[in-house]
């Protein structure tokens, strides 16, 4: 979730995004996520991926199932001809 394909809704006035960013890098890094703009390799050799947001609720996904149904399964069909 909160990826380029399946962005998260940042909330009214960005409140949801601010809450997640408020957890800080140490907490987000436990889940290989970051508030930084780009993927980066930490000093531990692990990769950390940025949270991706949208201000448009209709462009966001709220669950993994919704992400798969709205974005990933469609992309698989476009790429591989299967669903």
Q: How confident is the model at residue 1 (pLDDT cuts 50, 70, 90)?
A: confident
Tens digits of per-residue pLDDT, 29-39?
999 999 999 99
Closest CA to 7 of 64, 54, 76: 54
* Residue 3, domain member (yes or no): no
Tens digits of per-residue pLDDT, 47-61?
999 999 999 999 999
* Residue 40, domain member (yes or no): yes
pLDDT of the residue at 77? 53
Q: Which residues make beta-bridge pairs with 33?
A: 49
Domains identified in the chain, total number = 1
Q: Range of 62's domain?
A: 8-80
Q: Which residues make beta-bridge pairs with 49?
A: 33
* Residue 52, domain member (yes or no): yes
Closest CA to 6 of 49, 36, 40: 49
* Residue 66, domain member (yes or no): yes
* Residue 72, domain member (yes or no): yes
* Residue 19, domain member (yes or no): yes
DSSP label at 33? E
pLDDT of the residue at 9? 97
Q: Is the pLDDT of residue 83 over 60?
A: no
* Residue 34, domain member (yes or no): yes
* Residue 73, domain member (yes or no): yes
């Amino acid at each position: 979730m909160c990826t380029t394909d399946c962005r998260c809704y940042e909330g009214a006035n960005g409140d949801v995004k601010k809450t997640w960013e408020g957890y800080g890098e140490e907490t987000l890094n436990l889940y290989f996520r970051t508030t930084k703009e780009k993927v980066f390799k930490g000093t531990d050799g692990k990769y950390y991926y940025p949270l991706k947001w949208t201000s448009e609720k209709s462009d966001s996904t709220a669950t993994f199932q919704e992400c798969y149904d709205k974005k990933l399964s469609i992309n698989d069909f476009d790429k591989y001809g299967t669903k």
